[in-house]
Structure 1
Amino acid sequence: MRKYVIVALLPILLMACGQNQNNKATLWSHKMVDSHGLGDFYCNRHYQSKLDSTGWDYVSGLVAGAVLETWKQYPEKKAYYQSVKAFADLNLNEDGTMIINSKGGSALRPSNIDDLPAGRIYFTLYEEELRKGNTKDANRYRNAVDLIRNTLKYNHSRIAAGLPGAGGFFHKAIYPNQMWLDGLYMGSPIYAQWESTFGKTDSVEFNRSWDDIALQFKTIHQKTYDVEKQLNYHAWSATPADSNSFWANQQDPFLGSSPEFWARGMGWYFAALVDVLEFMPEDHSSYREIVDIANQVAAGLKRWQDDGSGLWYQLLQYDADMTADGKGDRVAGEVYNIGHAANYLESSASCIFTYAYLKGIRLGLLDKATYLPIAEKAYQGILETFIKEQQNDSKIDIVQICASAGLGPAKDPSRTGTINYYLAGKDVTVVENEGKAIGTFILASLEYEQMNDIIR
C-alpha cells in the first residue's frame, strides 16, 4: 500500500522540485539589471540609453547604486561593476574634487539636496580600487565623497536659529525653510556612511555629526507624523506664510505640513531610516529614538498595505475609489490639476517599502515575525502586478510608476499637494521603466534573494 502512495505523490513532488528550481534560478535582481539597469531607462522622463553615458542625477545614481549592490552580492557579474565605474568616472573630474555636469561645471547646485545621493557609489568604488592597488582612482573617489559630505554639512542652507526646526536642511534653495521626506534619503545616508567610514578619527566632530543627522529625522518626524493616521505628510515648512509654501497648512494641527500622504515620499523616508541606522553607533544618545521612528513608520505602512495585492497606493490613506474631483485646484485665480484620475497601486513606493522592511528585518531593527509576512506579500504582489515580461524577449518591464511629484515653489502654483495634484497634476504622470522604480525593485530583490539564501 505504501508504494502506491509514493507513486501517486511522485508527480507532485517532482513538480514542487521543479518549481523550487525555477524560483532559485529566477534572480529578479539580475533580470532587472540586464533589462534596464545598464541602460534603457528614464530619469525624470529623460531617456537614457546606457548607464555608463548617463549624467549626474539622483535617479541615475539610484540605478547605478542598485547595479553596484548587485555586483557586491554577485561579484561574478564584473560587467555590472565596470558599467557603474564608467558612470562614476564620466561624472568626476581628474582628481575627484568636482562632480561635473554635461557642460563641465559643477553638478552640485547650491543647496540642492537631490544632487548628493548618487555619490554613495563612490564608497564601494573607493574600497574596491584600493583593494586592487589602484590608488589613483581610489583617491579620486575618496575626494568625491569628502566633497559631497562637506558640501552638505558645511555649505547646505539650513532653517535659521529662531525658527521652528532650526538646523534642518533645506530641501533645495528654491524651497526656503522647507524639509521634505524625500530629502532625508537624499542627504542623510551619504552623510552617515561617510561618518562611519572616515569620521571616527575625530571623536568630537564624529559625535556632532551624528547629532546633526539625528536632528534631521527628529525634526521632520515631529512636524509631519500624524499619530491618528500613522503616516507622515510629504513635507513641512518652517515659514508657512512664505509664498513658496502656499501649499502648507496655515494653522494647527500640523502647521506648515502639506495636506496629503504621498507614498514614494514615505518610501524615501523609510529607506533613509534603515540606511542610516545601518551605520549609526548604537551607543549614540539618539539611536533608540531613531529606531523607534523606524518602527512607527513600519507599523503605519503595515496598516495601509492593500489587503488584496499586498501593495500600496499612490495616496496611502485611500484606495482606488478615491479620484481627482474634476474641478481642480484654484490658486491665485487660476485653476490647476483638473481631471478624474483614480488613485492607483504605485510601483516605486511598493518596491522601496519592501526593500526597507526586508533590510530592517535583516539588521534586527524590525520584528521579523510581524513584518516578514508583510514584505513577502508585497514582493509577490510586485512581481504579479508591476513586472511584465516582454514578448519574444528575456527582458522585463516595470509599470505603474509615478513620474515625479513636488510642492511649489511660488513660480509653479500647480504643485498644490492636494489629492487633485497627486492624481491629475501635469508632472504626476504614470510611466514605465523609470529609474526610481528600477533601482528600488533591484534593491528589494537583492534583499529578498539574500533572505532566501539565509533560509536555504
Structure 2
Amino acid sequence: MKKILMRTAVFALIFGALSSCSVQKQAANNVDLPNKKEVLETAERANQYFMNKWPDTGKEIVGKKVWPSNLWTRAVYYEGLIALYKVDPKKEYYDYAMSWSEKHNWNMMRDTYTRNADNQACGQTYLDLYEIDGKKNPERIKLVKASIDSMMATNKVDDWWWIDALQMGMPIFTKLGRMTGEKKYFDKNYEMYAFTKYKHGGNGLYNPKDKLWWRDKSFVPPYKEPNGEDCYWSRGNGWVVAALARTLEDTPKSDPHYQEYLQDYKDLLSALLPIQREDGFWNASLHDPTNFGGKEMTGTALFVYGMAYGINNGLIDKKTYLPVAIKAWNAIAKDSVQPNGFLGWVQGTGKEPKDGQPLSVSKEPDFEDYGLGCLLLAASEVYKLK
C-alpha cells in the first residue's frame, strides 16, 4: 500500500511539474502578445487625429505643388483604413473611404490611362469597396480595370522602375486576377515584377546576396553609403514586403510564380532579423546605422505588417518572427503614436535615408497620410495575432 501511495505521490509531483512547465511555456508564448483592445485603441487614436484634421476627403493637398487627394500618399492611408475596417468594421471608416472614392469618381489620379503606379494606387481601395459591398456596383472598378487593361494591351513591362511602385501597382493586378478569374492579370503582374527584379538598373534592383532591394538604378553599385555598404532604404524595402504580402494574398498557389514571390518575401524578412535596432525600430538605412541612424516608423511598420501577415497565414516561422514583430510594434505604439494620435518618427517623402531628416517625435512630415496607412496595415495584422 505504501509503495502505491509513494508511486502516486511521485506521479502527482511529476505531473504537477510538467503541467507547471506547460503553463509557463504557454504563458511565455502569449505574454508578449499585445492586448487586442490596446492595438485597436492605438490605431483608432492615430486615425481619429487624421480624420479630424481632414474632414473633407476631397480637399486638395497643398505643398510645394497642389495635389488631388487621390495621390499615392493618400491611397496608402486608405489601404490601411480598409485593413482596419476589416478587423473593426466601424461605419465611419467605411463612409470616409466611400466619400473619398466618390469625390474622385472612382478614377485614377488625373488620368484614367496613366501607366504610373503611384497614380493607380488609389484603385486598391476602389476594388476593396467593390468587394465589401458584394460586387454590386461595377462602376467602382470600371476605370481601374480600364487603366490596367490599357497597360495589358501593350508589350511594355518596364514601368515599375522604382521599388515603391511594386506596392502601389502589384496588388491591383492580383486583385483583378482573383476577382475576374483571368490569368492574364497574374501573368502581366509577374512580367513587370520580373523586369524590376532582374533588369532595371542593369541587373535588376534585387540583390540576392543581401536579400534586399535597391530603391532604383541610382543606388545600384558602385553607389555606396558613407560606411561603404550598399544603400538599402528601409521604407523602400518595406514597400516590397507589403507588395509581396498583398500579392501572395490574392495569387493562387497554383500560379507558376507563387513560389518565387513566397521565397522573395521570406528572404527579405530573414534579412531584417539581424539588423533590427535594440529599441525595436529599423534604421532608415538598413546597412548603415551611421547614415541618419535613429527611429523611423514607416519602414518599421511595413516590416511589422509583413511579419504579422506571414505569422497569421502560416508562411513564416512564428517562433522566429513573433518576438521581432512584437518588439517593433511595441516600439511604434510607445514611441511613435502620441497621446493625441500624432505620429512621430515618420520620414517624409523621398527615396533614400537622408530625405526628410532629421526626424523627431514631434516633427511633421511633408505628407502625414502614408505613415498612418503603414501603421494601420501593421495594426490590422498585429490585432489578428494569436
Distance in 2, matches of 1:420 and 1:282, equals 39
Distance in 2, matches of 1:298 and 1:34, equals 31
152, 168, 171: which one aligns with 1:186: 168
Q: 1:127 to 1:287 in 2, by over 3 A?
A: closer
Shift of 1:297: 0.4
Q: 1:275 to 1:293 in 2, by over 3 A?
A: same
Shift of 1:361: 1.9
Superposed, which structure 2 residues align to 1:125-136 within 5 Å? Answer: 125-130=129-134, 135=136
Q: Give TM-score scaled by structure 2 length.
A: 0.77
Q: 1:281 to 1:249 in 2, by over 3 A?
A: closer
Distance in 2, matches of 1:90 and 1:193, equals 23
Aligned to 1:89: 102
Aligned to 2:146: 147
Superposed, which structure 2 residues align to 1:42-191 within 5 Å? Answer: 48=54, 50-51=56-57, 53=59, 55-75=69-89, 77-92=90-105, 99=107, 106-108=110-112, 110-130=114-134, 135=136, 138-154=137-153, 158=156, 167-168=157-158, 170-171=159-160, 179-191=161-173
Distance in 2, matches of 1:355 and 1:114, equals 20
Amino acid at match of 1:289: E
Aligned to 2:187: 211
Q: 1:140 to 1:375 in 2, by over 3 A?
A: same
**Helix, strand or coil: the match of 2:153?**
helix
204, 207, 211: which one aligns with 1:226: 207
Superposed, which structure 2 residues align to 1:260-339 within 5 Å? Answer: 260-306=231-277, 308-319=278-289, 322-323=290-291
Q: 1:351 to 1:278 in 2, by over 3 A?
A: same
Aligned to 2:330: 380
Q: 1:221 to 1:370 in 2, by over 3 A?
A: farther
Aligned length: 333
Shift of 1:88: 0.3
Deviates more, 1:81-90 or 1:343-352: 343-352
Amino acid at match of 2:80: A
Q: 1:365 to 1:148 in 2, by over 3 A?
A: farther
Distance in 1, matches of 2:123 and 2:222, equals 38
Aligned to 2:16: none
Distance in 1, matches of 2:295 and 2:94, equals 33
Q: 1:219 to 1:39 in 2, by over 3 A?
A: farther
Aligned to 2:384: 450
Q: After TM superposition, which residue ranges in structure 1, 4 or more long, deviate above 6 angstroms?
A: 250-253
The answer as to whether partners of 2:336 and 2:344 remain within 8 angstroms in 1 is yes
Distance in 2, matches of 1:262 and 1:275, equals 20
When the two chains are superposed, the root-mean-square deviation of aligned CA atoms in Å is: 3.1
Q: 1:371 to 1:23 in 2, by over 3 A?
A: closer
In terms of fraction of residues, the more strand-rich structure is 1
Identity level (%): 20
Shift of 1:259: 5.5
Shift of 1:235: 1.4
The higher relative CO (CA closer than 8 Å, separation ≥ 6) is in 2
191, 198, 215: which one aligns with 2:180: 198
Distance in 1, matches of 2:143 and 2:152, equals 14
**Helix, strand or coil: the match of 2:338?**
strand
**Helix, strand or coil: the match of 2:78?**
helix
Q: 1:361 to 1:432 in 2, by over 3 A?
A: farther
Gaps of 5+ in 1: 1-18, 41-47, 159-166, 172-178, 201-205, 237-246, 324-341, 391-395, 407-416
1:405 aligns with 2:345: no
Shift of 1:212: 2.4
Distance in 2, matches of 1:264 and 1:71, equals 24
The answer as to whether partners of 2:46 and 2:337 remain within 8 angstroms in 1 is no
The answer as to whether partners of 1:402 and 1:430 remain within 8 angstroms in 2 is no
**Helix, strand or coil: the match of 1:215?**
helix
Distance in 1, matches of 2:151 and 2:52, equals 29
Distance in 2, matches of 1:224 and 1:142, equals 31
Distance in 2, matches of 1:192 and 1:39, equals 33
Distance in 1, matches of 2:230 and 2:356, equals 11
Q: 1:116 to 1:311 in 2, by over 3 A?
A: same
Q: 1:343 to 1:374 in 2, by over 3 A?
A: same
Q: 1:303 to 1:248 in 2, by over 3 A?
A: closer
Q: Give TM-score scaled by structure 1 length.
A: 0.66
Shift of 1:280: 0.9
Shift of 1:446: 1.1
1:436 aligns with 2:363: no
Gaps of 5+ in 2: 1-30, 61-68, 199-203
Cα-to-partner distance string for 1:122-174 (whole Å, 9 max, x where unaligned):
2232234447xxx5xx121131331232244336x83xxxxxxxx33x24xxx
**Helix, strand or coil: the match of 1:51?**
coil
